Structure 1
Amino acid sequence: MTLDPHVEGMLKALAAYAAPDFSTMTATGYRAGIAGRDGLLGPGDTVARSEDREIAGPGGPLKLRLYYPDVPGPLPLTLFFHGGGFVACGLDTHDNICRCLAVRAQTLVVSVDYRLAPEAPFPAAVHDAMAALEWLRAHAGEIGGDAQRIALAGDSAGGNLAAVLAQQARARGWSLQHQLLMYPVTDLAEESASYAACGQGYFLTAEGLRWFRAQYLSGGGDATDPRASPLRAKDFGGLAPATIVTAEYDPLRDEGEAYALSLRLAGVPAVLQRWPGQIHGFISMLGPIPAADAALDFAAAELRRAFGSQAR
């Protein structure tokens, strides 16, 4: 396959910004450098309403944003974790994805503003993710949701947290409907072949990934710990069924596909879709990249199928 021409245009637009120098980059500098770029992107679908909440978290108040579709409840619940290399982004940067999933999958999406590294290194984000899931299970009825129909979702670093949380939920005996992992980070301990093949010139770079990893594990975390690298888990049996979306020109492509294979070998239903001609993060790029809209349709259909519902 060849690079999507819309992606080529997006890469040219991004080239107008100075390339980060990861040899001297600080987290504060990185966040400042990407601030405002989400303004290039489409706003996503119109939800019936959204609301921000705060719950008690292990590191202090934990912010959530709830997205309601215009359908009667009780609603299936999708707990969403944003990407950003464990270092950047938040509720606003991934607002468009959450809106589209809420409307198209007819699910109440709960987006989590987990703590970021290096100020709060691994495993702080994992602890926040678990706190959000615990709260959702306990308060589903209060917010109009169905505690028996909970899915986890996330992109990139958020896909990592969703996969880790699915493993931890299994250990607690909690049933989940699905895990939707969009170009997830699954292995911080080893670089796959796609690092070399796609690690330069396609938005996300191998150098950047190494920097993100160093920030996340700056508290002394072990890259082989399955809470950091879910691909390193010893047992994949009994995990929630999964949908995994990868991008052809993404250095994270191979580890996401390896995770899908590990699930399948353990007997876990796992749908794998490699999106041709695309780069890491393309699903956020509504507007400039038409494939983002198609990928969100696909992801939403997978969630609806998992929840056992059809569009009304």
Structure 2
Amino acid sequence: MASERELSYIASVKDEDVYAYRMRKELRYRTYCNELRVNDTSVKRSVWTDAGWLDLYFYYPRERTSDVVVFNFHGGGFCLGYWELDVPYCRLMADRSGAVVVNVDYPCSPEHKYPMTYTASYDAMVWCHRHAEELDIARGRFMTVGSSAGGNIAAAMVQMASRQGDFPIVGFAMNYPVLRMSLSREALDSSRAIANERSLQYIAWEYADLNQMGEPLASPTEAGPEVCWPDMLLNVAGFDSLKGEADDFRDLLVSRGTHVDYKNYPQAEHGFTHADLNEYRPDDSSDAWGRIARFIKAH
């Protein structure tokens, strides 16, 4: 139940506040992102969606041994578009699994509020399915992968594909995903978790109506039994305030007969898989991405 303080804080957040937030991130990441762009080996394709042009970056493995196509969704609270930060991990997944990996530069809020991130991303996947021969990819054996907000999008793509039937998704993998939209969360140590004010900012920028937070695309824990969930891999962080909802989602899918490969990294915090973040834990990160690569290869 939201408190008056939380609702008041959300009401005080303006859409234009996102630009100061993005500027701080730009000053922090621009050198690192420029280095990643210079050394990137992807093939870029731009796709028209209901949110305008959406860029896709294709990573073809050195040796292709899988007909699966993996769509990767980066993190960033739905409001940051740093697809570059996932470049090393897309390359790693492609080469270790032998599958084609597609890094999705999806539209962000507040310019594109819920549900446009989902609908545009799904449009792009449908386009890839229909243009498989042109793209030199297999038709209709897709997987989705995502970290944080990207994990939420990865789960949303499974729901949309299950309901609309355009193509099968044979598995999905997530690092510390957002699985239940909430105005307040508990953590083992609040000093090692996402600040609640930051989470409230993300929510204010993403939703025009807070009632949308309870919809299944936004909160996969609310998805009904009509969704056919494929095999799932889930990496969680022990100090993450999102761990509770991830555990609930795991239990939900297990109860519905889905195979779940779950691992908790007890000393890790949200973001531990990414070298650009202060929370980065190299050994745990290597293990988490290795698990995902093996999961892809197994399918």
> Could you state the TM-score of these two structures normalised by the residue count of structure 2?
0.85
The question of 1:55 aligning with 2:47 is answered: yes
Q: 2-side partners of 1:104 and 1:37: how far apart? A: 30
Q: Which residue of 1 aligns with 2:237?
A: 247
2:58 is paired with a residue whose SS is strand
1:237 to partner: Cα distance:
5.3
What residue is the counterpart of 1:180 in the other structure? 173
Does the C-alpha gap of structure 1 residues 252 and 234 become closer, same or farther in structure 2, counting only changes over 3 Å? same
Letter in 2 for 1:35: E
- Superposed CA deviations along residues 88-108 of structure 1, whole A, max 9, x for unmatched, are 133212212212211222211
Deviation readout 1:192-217 (Å, 9 max, x if unpaired): 4xx3434x322622221122112111
CA distance in 1, matches of 2:183, 2:21: 24
> Partners in 2 of 1:90 and 1:75 — Cα distance?
27
Q: Distance in 2 between matches of 1:297 and 1:102?
A: 11
Query: 1:72-87 maps to which residues of 2 (within 5 A)?
Result: 72=64, 75-87=67-79
The aligned amino acid for 1:59 is A
Secondary structure at 1:52's aligned position in 2? strand
**2:269 match:** 279
Q: 1:296 to 1:72 in 2, by over 3 A?
A: closer
Work out which of the residue numbers 130, 135, 138 in structure 2 matches 1:143. 135
1:98-247 aligned within 5 A: 98-173=90-165, 174-189=167-182, 191-192=184-185, 195-198=186-189, 200-202=190-192, 204-218=194-208, 222-235=212-225, 238-247=228-237
- The residue number in structure 1 matching 2:59 is 67
Any idea what SS the aligned residue of 2:273 has? helix
SS in 1 for 2:290: helix
Which residue matches 1:28?
19
Check conservation: 2:232, 2:261, Cα contact below 8 A.
Answer: yes
Q: Contact conserved, 1:237 with 1:268, CA < 8 A, in 2? A: no
CA contact (8 A) 1:248 1:274 kept: yes
1:32 and 1:196, CA in 2 relative to 1: closer, same or farther beyond 3 A? same
Whether the aligned pair in 2 keeps the contact of 1:114 and 1:129 (CA below 8 Å) is: yes
Give 3-state SS (helix, strand or coil) of 1:278's partner: coil
Q: Is the 8 A contact 2:13 2:204 kept in 1?
A: no
Corresponding position of 1:270: 260
Q: Is the 8 A contact 2:187 2:239 kept in 1?
A: no
Equivalenced residue count is 280
Between Structure 1 and Structure 2, the one with more helix by share is 2
Q: Which runs of 5+ in 2 are unaligned?
A: 1-8
Question: Deviation of residue 24 (structure 1)?
Answer: 6.5
1:218, distance to aligned residue in structure 2 (A): 3.0
DSSP 3-state at the match of 2:217:
coil
Classify 1:237/1:40 alpha carbon distance in 2 versus 1 (closer, same or farther; 3 Å): same
What is the CA-CA distance between 1:111 and the residue it aligns to? 1.2
Q: Structure 2 vs 1, CA of residues 211 and 190 (structure 1 numbering), >3 Å: closer, same or farther?
A: closer
Amino acid paired to 1:121: K
Q: What letter matches 1:158 in structure 2?
A: G
Q: Distance in 2 between matches of 1:286 and 1:100?
A: 16
Q: Distance in 2 between matches of 1:204 and 1:244?
A: 19
What percentage of residue pairs aligned between the two structures are identical? 25
Report the TM-score when normalising by structure 1: 0.81
Structure 1 residues 82 and 235 mapped into 2: Cα distance closer, same or farther (>3 Å)? same
